[in-house]
Amino acid sequence: MGAGGRMPVDPKVKKSQEEVLERVPVAKPPFTVGDIKKAIPPHCFQRSVIRSFSYVVYDLTIASILYYIATNYIHLLPHPFSYVAWAIYGFVQGCFLTGVWVIAHECGHHAFSNYQWLDDTVGLILHSSLLVPYFSWKYSHRRHHSNTGSLEKDEVFVPKHKAELRSFAKYLNNPPGRVLTLLVTLTLGWPLYLLFNVSGRHYERFACHYDPQSPIYSDRERAQILVSDAGVLAVTFGLYRLAAAKGLAWVLCVYGAPLLVVNGFLVLITFLQHTHPALPHYNKTEWDWLRGALATVDRDYGILNKIMHNITDTHVAHHLFSTMPHYHAMEATKVIRPILGDYYRLDETPVFKAMWREAKECMYVEPDESGKNKGVFWYNNKL
């Protein structure tokens, strides 16, 4: 039997659509974080510098091969095949660079090695190369992990109450409106979040990831925000010099298109991990860390799961133990699923279908309609 008298979950059994959309329990779990951790083999928490670097080398090798092929052979193709080839290159390169992004994300969680200075050095280099302010995002993301599922304190994809929706929301609640919303979200969502905290937590004054004085950060963190800014500026200057030497079109094809794919996947992955009809949000009267961490969902991206180092299908385990290296997360997930029981949610709905469903069904949150669970909120879309 699993925790709380539940039968163990068979990972091989695929749930029906009705089961996937069934709401997760909101009562305090019959297990603790300690119970979950005890079930995970100790080696899953061990970080290896050599193994972690092997993934960096692998990803950068693939990216280098793709760059070499693109810059040496695509221009030999006749039109319009060259345009098609550049589009394919941009998508494939973006997928592998998302893997690089994930490794830098691990550095921010101190999951890369046992040495904080090494994690920060590698993370700063990798994230800066993708125009991500490493320390700025590291600290806001840490607060996201500390407050997941909280309507007041979570940092990313914080749902609105119905009364907080903009007046034009009803005009976007249709297929063309959803297409437009998703297009803007996937292309501009990441820079808008970094610059203006769009979809983030409400602050009493302007919040920006590039501003050392932003209310997102504490006084001891502000100097490192400047380091992040310097890293992004250095890479931006390098891109400017490349554009001057090779031309803007060359930079956009070789670097810009893959970066657009990286940013799109980052937003899509985060959106689908924290937005689901079966997942609750909590206000301050009901929220606690464990239930918040469990208010996430694992998704299946097919072959991209491996390319993106399983950040897609081991997210629940990641929220429970964020310092665990990604290469142990699959093993840990298989172990904890029977313990979590109904509190664990895996949705294997095809990604684009899930994206459309969540955009349609999850427009805002409202209190639990039964009235029994005050402080618990569920997604709705009725305007």
Residue 7 in any domain: the answer is: no
Number of domains forming the structure of the chain: 1
Residue 306 in any domain: the answer is: yes
351-361 vs 175-196: helix axis angle to the nearest 10? 90
Residue 9 in any domain: the answer is: no
Give the predicted TM-score (pTM) of the model.
0.94
pLDDT in tens, 79-118: 899 999 999 999 999 999 999 999 999 999 999 999 999 9
Residue 59 in any domain: the answer is: yes
| Ordered DSSP codes for 7-27 | PPP-TTSPPPHHHHHSPPP-S
Residue 5 in any domain: the answer is: no
pLDDT in tens, 120-135: 999 999 999 999 999 9
| Ordered DSSP codes for 26-90 | -SPPSS-HHHHHHHS-GGGG---HHHHHHHHHHHHHHHHHHHHHHHHHGGGSPTTHHHHHHHHHH
Percent of the chain at pLDDT > 70 equals 96
- The reported pLDDT for the residue numbered 374 is 87
Residue 17 in any domain: the answer is: no
Worst-scoring range by mean pLDDT, 7-16, 36-45, 223-232, 245-254?
Answer: 7-16
Can you give the residue range of the structural domain that contains 240?
42-380
Distance of CA 187 to the CA centre of its chain: 15
- Say whether pLDDT at 5 is over 50: no
Closest CA to 289 of 153, 151, 147: 147
Residue 322 in any domain: the answer is: yes
- Say whether pLDDT at 47 is over 70: yes
Residue 189 in any domain: the answer is: yes
- The reported pLDDT for the residue numbered 19 is 85
Q: How far apart are alpha carbons 272 and 330 in whole angstroms?
A: 19
- For the chain, the residue count is 383
- The reported pLDDT for the residue numbered 17 is 76
